[in-house]
Amino acid sequence: MMNDDKLRLDLIEKEYFHLQTEIEKFDDKSLTIKTWSVSLVTAIVGSDILAENTNHYLILFASFASIMFWIIEASWKAFQSAYYCRIKVIEKFMREKDFKIEPLQIATSWSKSHKKINFKKFMSIMFWRQVMIPHGMMSIILLILYLIISIINIMYF
């Protein structure tokens, strides 16, 4: 019986560190999404400025591109957050001697947690500071810039 407990504890420990590694991978993906977002949006806005046109639809397009990257990053964060439930269960198991769990339940736990992410929770994730910056800020600034340019064009052209 002692060997079973040791094996179980070893498996749970490995599961915990595997989950931590997966969460870190999602953080790396998040930085990649931010990099692509800023690069693409900057290139689009730069193209609009260099084109010297008067309608500036590319600025509006850049704003929508930023919103799309924002949604993609929020989706990744939702996927990532589904791992935290299992981590909390394992941490509770390590704190409380009477608490029992089964090892190797990553997929089952992730699936249950992810199903709980409804529209309201997803919107909450979108407005986490680390998700909203830079996408939300860029999209708002670009929308305002487009509106200002449109008003100026109506008034003076």
DSSP tag of 117: -
Kindly report, residue by residue over 28-76, the tens digit of the pLDDT.
999 999 999 999 999 999 998 888 776 789 999 999 999 999 999 999 9
Cα-based distances in Å from 44 to 37, 55, 68, 119: 11, 14, 14, 30
Q: What pTM, to 2 d.p., does this model score?
A: 0.87
Collect contacts of 104-112 with beta carbons under 8 A, ≥24 apart.
104/11, 104/15, 105/15, 106/15, 106/18, 106/19, 109/82, 109/83, 109/85, 110/82, 110/83, 110/85, 110/86, 111/82, 112/85
For the chain, give every domain's residue range: 2-156
Kindly report, residue by residue over 115-133, the tens digit of the pLDDT.
999 999 999 999 999 999 9
